[in-house]
Structure 1
């Protein structure tokens, strides 16, 4: 990397030079990863400690100091988290961590994990405990530290470019009239409030100041047509309503300003108002246009224009801007309905939200009836169509045809015909075909996703543990592999055999510990949880061991469940994965089978195997072997001495220095060669992992300093080192 390095003898002088550099460059945006809670906070506090006189004037307004204060951010979307609030007037602090926490659901939010997930790159990970040693070493060690710092600055910039974060947020700010900082730190409602205020001013309305306190009033949600569960080896066409809830609000003029209360409708003509399926009354658009429909029309028409411009645009930067704009417009339109239904909100209105969902339910039912009554053998079609599932804004239809192309023809025809039955701008669209399709339950299904007849676009999964973060990686790995075999290879039996082999390996402790790490976010303090939680108990345990590296509020806590006495609750068996590896603490493999793997596997195989699912997967020869690893930290380990066993047959030996018992002595050469082969395999594995880590850090001639807990290679490297040490001790017992 090309970088200019400036050196200073005094740290205070260094900080003042950095502050002067900021003022000279005069940036509009300061960005980085977790810069609010760490980088800027540390610099401000350090400058205060060293009395760096001019450091704190980082903004564009003279004589206004940059200070830091602690705040607690809390929203339904992001939960509760501690944060630092820093004022730098005239500049936007655009913390990439806040963007990712808000917009993406990831298993880990460390820069290393995020960079690998989106870029396929990793940072030069250096543990904080060795930074001083690297700085005080030689030119080569300081180079390692410099590369670490440079990558920490470079990776967030690459992520910003890849994810178009700044472009998307600037467009969202432009569309909604909300400042960038508020988009990062506030909830969804502020966007709708801002747009309402704009339109209220334009139409000379006054918007009331109101804060919903919540109530016991409930309204019926969207319809979910009862699924006909099963494995469908025929094409399933999907019909979707485009922007269902916004289009309902526009079609029927549902708004605060059009709602009729009490007996107001008695003084009006019948053609001047409508009665919704939820028994609420609204004025028609011909009498008075509502503010919410006007906002939605503006948003959706602007989105349509942005999408059309995007098709014709060739400049890469303008394409990014237009794509960010259409995405911001889509999100803004979809949040309007949620705003009216948020009872603990700025302006809740149950009459609007319950009317929208009531119209939606009727439309889904009407679509189902129209499809099944039209596409019948008696009407000249080859098969009777059947709606096998419907949810909120879409229905899945089995037309009975055997090819994707035929299903697409019928799907487009049905969407066009049924759209004519509804009030504009409500429109039913044909979007995709699933083939094959595994319908597990409500909101749980998987299938190969076709938008063109020739080849599938992707494997689409909804509600399954392939993406959920509160399971260990093993669950997602096994589920994806099984679904691949069922859907892509059309080999359900092969999927069953694969699942059984993984269960066998799990119980025999043959799986890498990186596959068993569970992560959960520490969203509340211990007192705020109703019951004891595994990640909270572990965080407390780690705080006692080393408060400096212990997880803090808002962090995701990685842990494994270790073996313990019968009846010990899971929260008491949570342990730090590194601690478990280094001390050979045995893993509770039965916990992972019963509490992590069994339910997800049963779900996807039940439509195929039926009632015998559990007996096939969770019972049998493959579940009868279980290995327990001896821990170095057990309660009695300090008082007991481990006895040597024969390398060949594992019987106890009288002399701990011997390798074999008298019965295995004649086969000494054979056993020795077998153990030498095991040692060679471990050395080969270690060398491959070491080389992979060297490639990742960009040098094949330096030691590995990486301590990234998000990287499976890190755990594998730790494990193979421990195995090598044990195997080396075993080999020394042979003469």
Structure 2
């Protein structure tokens, strides 16, 4: 009789069943769904996907013969990605029950169960054949991570190809196990989160930084986290010296604490889901910004799915402000009259260090102690001047270096240089620095005026990803600091 199949029902006559041989004509999947084999009838999905996957393999093989910096390589890379997405979406629509265009859950479940069975069979084969000298350390969806202990890169390539050849003899066509790459150094943080230096061919001399699921490739964090994490992991993989990694992280954190950074690297851009998807009082930065925009202009509310940029600074009106009260829009930040001050400690302790800890804690490193030692060094001058260390850290006062000896201090001149009798050299240094920044500021302003076609300067730039705009904002701050330093030195003289 009829039975449910996909979004409809299916009826198979007894005559058709009697003409089929259960051993040679029918394939029974691991989840109990029966299909006739290809010599009886080919399915729609196999015909379509076989052509798509074969074309993608051809494109990827061509990419290996082309310079990676060429335009043709980027074009082919985009095409193979399109083919991959078409294949993925086809499978997704097949198994989707709510938004699917051709829902057939039985086919989707069969694909998943069959792939799982293939991987489990490969794992059992590796465990029962120790002469290959390898072990499975991770498996996910359609891939296996296999470790070859005490092997060189050349030996790992040779052993991998032998293993793949043996595994492919277990499966019928068109199922095929494919060797992809070798990780010589890698970090497997958790499920779907790993990173390493990959080698795709035995002749490849330099490893490629390959990351999946960590902050270097995610869009829900800011650029400074991605840059520091990527460079730290590269140093660890290349030098295997955790001391160099620690020095690099401390140097970058010191730059943030001493206001030597590019504001463009500290911007978050989270997706806005629309007012109806949030509670009115939900502590979501994108929602807070959308509400503020709607108060002045209802049409200024971000579209659903649009990414809303913001940064985390200090709230000058509230003493014990929550994090949601410290959200600043870029328009308010880039307003020269604003008192914006970056919450450096939030970015360091809540964004940068946790991302590093998720990778480096696996080798027994406590990255949070690195910044504790750095903060003690930065605030040593404050203790000499009678400042309370904890209070100073809470307020996150901006620190700077002495313009003469480059010692960290809270004033343009440290105590030792301030006691010098002759400050004429100091005056010359301050004057030259201020003049240089004033010239840079004037040049950047001319570039902005030329871009906006307004030489009078009365315009409001709305671009949020223009490096010149952020550079002009930074140079303006440095110029004002240099002018204040020059005034401070003149008063000391």
- Common fold, TM-score beyond 0.5? yes
The correspondence of residues 153-168 of structure 1 with structure 2, limited to 5 A, is none
1:273 aligns with 2:26: yes
Q: Aligned-pair distance for 1:592?
A: 1.6
**For the residues of structure 2 that align with 1:646 and 1:442, how far apart are their CA atoms?**
48
> Aligned to 1:715, what secondary structure does the other structure show?
helix
Aligned match for 1:491, one of 235, 241, 259: 241
Contact conserved, 1:585 with 1:629, CA < 8 A, in 2?
A: no
Residue 469 of structure 1 is matched in structure 2 by 219
**TM-score normalized by the length of structure 2:** 0.75
Runs of at least 5 residues in structure 1 that lack an aligned partner in the other structure: 1-207, 212-255, 631-644, 651-662
Q: Which residue of 1 aligns with 2:50?
A: 297
Distance 1:580 1:282 in 2: 62
Q: Partner residue of 2:361?
A: 606
| 1:211-266 deviation digits (Å, cap 9, x = unpaired) | 9xxxxxxxxxxxxxxxxxxxxxxxxxxxxxxxxxxxxxxxxxxxx98x9899x979
Asked if 1:418 corresponds to 2:167, the answer is yes
State whether residues 473 and 516 of structure 1, in contact with CA within 8 Å, keep that contact through their aligned partners in structure 2.
Answer: yes
> Is the aligned partner of 1:501 residue 2:245?
no
Paired with 1:501 and 1:477, the residues of 2 have a C-alpha distance of: 13
What are the superposed Cα offsets for residues 83-119 of structure 1, whole Å, 9 maximum, x if unpaired?
Answer: xxxxxxxxxxxxxxxxxxxxxxxxxxxxxxxxxxxxx
How far apart, CA to CA, are the structure 1 residues paired with 2:236 and 2:411? 45
Distance 1:275 1:459, change over 3 A: same
Q: Is the 8 A contact 1:501 1:622 kept in 2?
A: no
Alpha carbons of structure 1 residues 547 and 339: separation in structure 2 relative to 1, 3 Å: closer
Distance 1:590 1:597 in 2: 10
Give the superposition deviation at 1:468: 1.7
The offset of 1:321, in angstroms, is 9.0
Query: In 2, Cα distance between the equivalents of 1:458 and 1:309?
Result: 19
Secondary structure of residue in 1 paired with 2:172:
coil
How much does 1:551 deviate? Answer: 4.8
Instruction: Determine if contact 1:486/1:492 at 8 Å carries over to the other structure.
Output: yes
Shift of 1:649: 7.2
Q: Distance in 1 between matches of 2:251 and 2:220?
A: 23
**Is the 1:517–1:558 contact (alpha carbons within 8 Å) kept by the matching residues of 2?**
yes
CA root-mean-square deviation: 4.3
Q: Is the 8 A contact 1:559 1:575 kept in 2?
A: yes
Q: Closer, same or farther in 2 for the Cα pair 1:593/1:309, shift >3 Å?
A: closer
Can you list the C-alpha shifts for 1:174-194, whole angstroms capped at 9, x where unaligned? Answer: xxxxxxxxxxxxxxxxxxxxx
Contact 1:537/1:572, CA 8 A, preserved across alignment: no
Contact kept, 8 Å, 1:372 with 1:386, in 2: the verdict is: yes
* SS of aligned partner of 1:484: helix
For residues 317 and 473 of structure 1, the distance between their equivalents in structure 2, rounded to whole angstroms, comes to 26
Q: 1:317 to 1:679 in 2, by over 3 A?
A: closer
Following TM superposition, by how much is the alpha carbon of 1:417 offset from its aligned partner in structure 2, in angstroms? 1.2
Aligned partner of 2:90 in structure 1 is 336
CA distance in 1, matches of 2:330, 2:172: 58
Shift of 1:479: 0.9
Q: How far off is 1:409 after superposition? A: 0.9
Q: Which has the higher contact order (CA 8 A, sep 6+)?
A: 1
- Shift, 1:428, TM fit: 0.8
TM-score (norm 1): 0.52
Aligned to 2:433: 681
User: Match of 1:364?
Assistant: 119
Give, in whole Å, the separation in 2 of the partners of 1:501 and 1:469: 25
Residue 179 of structure 2 aligns to a residue whose secondary structure is strand
1:427 paired with 2:198, answer no
1:289 Cα shift? Answer: 2.8
Residues of 2 paired with 1:318 and 1:592: CA distance?
Answer: 39
The question of whether the paired residues in 2 share the 8 Å contact of 1:500 and 1:622 is answered with no
Quickly say closer, same or farther: Cα 1:732–1:452, change in 2 above 3 A. same
1:722 is aligned to 477
Specify every segment of 5 or more residues in structure 2 that has no aligned partner in the other structure, as ranges. Answer: 380-392, 399-409
Aligned to 1:591, which of 346, 349, 356?
346
Quick check: 2:437–2:479 contact (8 Å CA) kept in 1?
Answer: no
Q: Structure 2 vs 1, CA of residues 323 and 590 (structure 1 numbering), >3 Å: closer, same or farther?
A: closer
SS across alignment from 2:102 = coil
- Aligned: 1:579 with 2:332: yes
**Cα pair distance change 1:278/1:470, threshold 3 Å:** same
Please state whether the residue corresponding to 1:428 is helix, strand or coil: coil
Aligned residue for 1:391?
140
**1:515 match: secondary structure:** helix
